[in-house]
Amino acid sequence: MAFDDRGETGAEEKTTPPCGLAPRLQRPADIKSVALIGLFVLAVFYTMYFMRAMLLPLVLALLLSYLLVPLVRVLAMLRIRPLFGAAIVLVALIGAIGYGISFLSEPAASWIEKAPYSLHQLQQKLRYMLIAILEGNFITPMILGRSLTLNPVLILIALALWGWMWGISGMILAVPILATFKIFCDHIESMAPIAEFMT
C-alpha cells in the first residue's frame, strides 16, 4: 500500500500525460535550450531586418489578399469566375489608387509652393506635437488594446519593433500582424497560453 500526501491509502491512479505547450512551459528549462532558442530568435529578426526589401512586399501582398478575397467571393456568388473577379477587384483597386494620387497632386503641389512661408507657423504649433506624441504612444495603444483585446504594452513593443525593422510601413503593419498572430494563437490549442498572454 502507498500513502499519499494526506496520509490516506489509495490505489495508483493512471493519468494520461498532458500534451501541449502549457506543460512544457511548467517544466524547468535547460539553459542550453534557452540560449539556443534566444539565438534562433535573434537570427530570425536579423534575417527579417536585412530581408525587409523582399519581406515587406510579401507581407503587404498577404494582407491585401486577406482583405480582397471576400470581394472576389461576392463576385463569385454573382456568377463571375474567380479569375475575372480578381482581375476586376485588382483593376478597381489600381484605379482607386490612381484617382487618389491625381486628386491629391494639386493640393500637394500648392503645399510645396507655400512650404517656405508656413515654416514660421511651425514654431507656434510645436506644443500640439506633444499632444500628438502622447496620443500616438499612450492613448491609441490603450484604445486599440481594449478593442482588439491586445495588451497595450505588447502593441507598443510591436510598433517599436516593426518600426525599427521596416520603418513607417512596419509601424502601419504592426497592429494587423500582431492581431493576426493572436487570432492564429486563439485557434491553435497548443498556442492558447501565448494568446492568453497577449490579451
- What are the tens digits of pLDDT across the range 117-132? 676 677 667 767 777 7
Per the CB < 8 A criterion, the answer to whether 169 and 56 are in contact is: yes
Question: Which residue in 76, 59, 69, 23 sits closest to 181, CA to CA?
Answer: 59
Predicted TM-score (pTM) of this structure:
0.42
Q: What is the largest CA-CA distance in the chain?
A: 93
136 or 43, greater pLDDT: 43
Q: In whole angstroms, what is the distance from residue 144 CA to residue 130 CA?
A: 20
- Rounded Cα–Cα distance for residues 49 and 54 (Å): 10
Contacts of 104 (CB under 8 A, 6+ apart): none
Mean per-residue pLDDT for 92-114?
A: 86
Select the highest-mean-pLDDT range: 26-35, 98-107, 119-128, 134-143: 98-107
**What pLDDT score was predicted for residue 26?**
66
Round the average pLDDT of the chain to a whole number and report it.
80
CA dist., res. 184 & res. 152, Å (int)? 19
Calculate helix-pair angle for 31-50, 52-77, nearest 10 degrees. Answer: 80
Question: Vertex 38, ends 35 and 39: CA angle to 5°?
Answer: 85
> What is the mean predicted confidence (pLDDT) over 84-106?
91
Give the pLDDT of residue 148.
66
163 CB neighbour count, 10 Å cutoff: 16
Bridge partners, 9 (sequence order)? 3
Burial of 83 (0-12, 13-18, 19+ CB in 10 A): exposed
Whether the Cβ atoms of residue 73 and residue 79 lie closer than 8 Å to each other: no
Structure confidence at residue 1 (pLDDT): 46
